[in-house]
Amino acid sequence: MKSLIKRLVEIPGPSGFEEQIRASVQREIKDHADEIKVDALGNLIARKGKKKDGGLRIMLSAHIDEIGLMVTHVDDNGFARFIGIGGINPLTCYGGRVLFMNGTRGVIGVEKLESAKAPKLAQLFIDVGASNPDDCPVGVGDVCGFERPFLELGDRLVAKSMDDRIAAVIAIEAMRAITDTPHELYFVFSVQEEVGIRGAITVAYGVDPDLGLAIDVTRSGDTPKCTKMETALGKGPAVKVRDSSFIADPRVVNWMVETAKQAGIPYQLEVLEAGGTDGRAIQLTRAGVPTGCLSIPCRYIHSPSEMVDKHDVQNSVKLLIALLSQPVKLG
Partner 1 sequence: MTKNTKISTSKVPQVGKSQIELLEKLCNAVAVSGDEQEVRQIVLEEVKSVADEVKVDALGNVLVTRFGRGEKRPRVMLAAHMDEIGFMLVKDNEGGLFEFVTIGGIDERQLVAKSVLVGREHLPGVIGAKPIHLTKKEERKNTLKIDQMRIDMGLDIGSKVKVGDRASFATRFELIGPSIRAKALDDRLGIVNLIELVKHAPGNIDLLAAFTVQEEVGLRGARVAAYAFDPDMAFALDSTPARDLPVWESDDDNVNYNTRLDQGPAIYLMDSATIADRRLVDLLVKAAEAEGIPYQFRQPNRGGTDAGAIHKSRAGIPSISVSVPQRYIHTAAGLVRHDDWAHTLQLMHAALSRITLDTLKR
The catalytic residues are 193
CB of 257 to partner 1, least distance (A): 32
For residue 214, what is the enclosing H or E element? strand 211-219
Measured at the alpha carbon of residue 72, what is the angle toward residues 124 and 42, in degrees to the nearest 5?
A: 115
For residue 283, what is the enclosing H or E element? helix 278-283
CB of 96 to partner 1, least distance (A): 19
Cβ atoms within 10 Å, residue 247: 14
**Which residues, in sequence order, are CB contacts of 203 under 8 Å at separation 6+?**
39, 41, 43, 45, 59, 61, 188, 190
DSSP state for residue 248 in the 8-state scheme:
-
Nearer to partner 1, 50 or 73 (CB): 73
Nearer to partner 1, 42 or 96 (CB): 42
Nearer to partner 1, 202 or 303 (CB): 202
CB of 263 to partner 1, least distance (A): 35
Nearer to partner 1, 257 or 284 (CB): 284
CB of 326 to partner 1, least distance (A): 30
Residues that bind partner 1 (CB under 8 A): 15-17, 19, 38-43, 70-73, 75, 81, 83, 85, 122, 140-141, 192, 195, 198-199, 201-203, 205-206
Nearer to partner 1, 16 or 236 (CB): 16
DSSP letters, 45-68, are EEEES---TT--EEEEEEE--B-E
For residue 25, what is the enclosing H or E element? helix 19-29
Contact 70, 82 (CB under 8 A): yes
Report CA dihedral (83, 85, 90, 95) to the nearest 10 degrees.
-90
Nearer to partner 1, 96 or 206 (CB): 206
What's the CA gap between 84 and 10, in Å, rounded? 19
CB of 81 to partner 1, least distance (A): 5
DSSP state for residue 88 in the 8-state scheme:
-
What's the CA gap between 100 and 81, in Å, rounded? 14
- Residues paired with 186 in a beta bridge: 47, 59
CB of 9 to partner 1, least distance (A): 22
Contact 319, 259 (CB under 8 A): yes
CB of 199 to partner 1, least distance (A): 8
Nearer to partner 1, 71 or 158 (CB): 71
What's the CA gap between 108 and 66, in Å, rounded? 18
What's the CA gap between 200 and 161, in Å, rounded? 19
What's the CA gap between 7 and 166, in Å, rounded? 11
